[in-house]
Amino acid sequence: MFKKMFTKPEINPLDVLIHWNNPNEHLESNIGVYVLEQIKKNQDTLLFTIDISALRKSKRINTSDLSIKQISKDNWRLYFDEYTFFIEGSGFTKTPFLLEWKDSKEFVLTLYSYLSDQSRIHLKFYGNISDLSKEEYFSN
- Where do the structural domains in the chain lie, given as residue ranges? 21-139
Which range scores top for mean pLDDT: 10-19, 82-91, 128-137? Answer: 128-137
Instruction: Output the pTM of the full model.
Output: 0.84
Least confident of 33-37, 38-42, 89-93: 89-93
CATH number (3.40.1570, 3.40.50, 2.60.220, 1.25.10) of 21-139 reads 3.40.1570
Over residues 55-77, the pLDDT tens digits come to 999 999 999 999 999 999 889 99
As a whole number, the mean pLDDT across the chain is 87
8 Å CB contact between 17 and 129: no
What residues does 56 pair with on adjacent strands? 51
Average pLDDT over residues 89-109: 88
- For residue 15, pLDDT over 90 is answered with no
Task: Give the Cα separation of 107 and 99 in Å (integer).
Answer: 7
For position 8, what pLDDT does the model report? 60
- For residue 16, pLDDT over 80 is answered with no
What is the pairing mode between strands 67-72 and 55-62? unpaired
